[in-house]
Amino acid sequence: MQYLAAGAHGPSPVIYIVFAVGGAVALWCGSNWAFDVRGISTRRAERIRRRSEEASMAAGRLGGAPTLFATPGYLRFLGAVMAGAGLLLLTVAYALWHLG
């Protein structure tokens, strides 16, 4: 009984799978955002920018300044960071698999 509690069966493959799947998803989504494959993020950013300008005009302010979060460049930067995190997770999963 005491050997079961100590983990005599070896490391669980679930950890490797979680890291690998998480890394693959982050890499996929991040590269789609970074390269803006279908133009979704830039269209969404443009819509957000227009809404913020309309809201500032309605509030009486002149020339509403677009926020940093509404720029396509910022979304592409976030995509690149997410893709980098995905590569890091895949590297960690590979290292854990080889280290046992």
- Tell me if the pTM is above 0.75: no
Please tell me the distance from the alpha carbon of residue 7 to that of residue 26, in angstroms, as a whole number. 31
> Residue 53: how many CA atoms within 13 Å on its side-chain side?
10
Domain boundaries, the chain: 13-99
Tens-digit pLDDT profile for residues 49-86: 788 777 777 666 655 555 666 677 788 889 899 999 99
The answer, yes or no, to whether residue 90 has pLDDT greater than 50, is yes
Tens-digit pLDDT profile for residues 19-60: 899 999 999 989 988 887 677 767 777 787 788 777 777 666
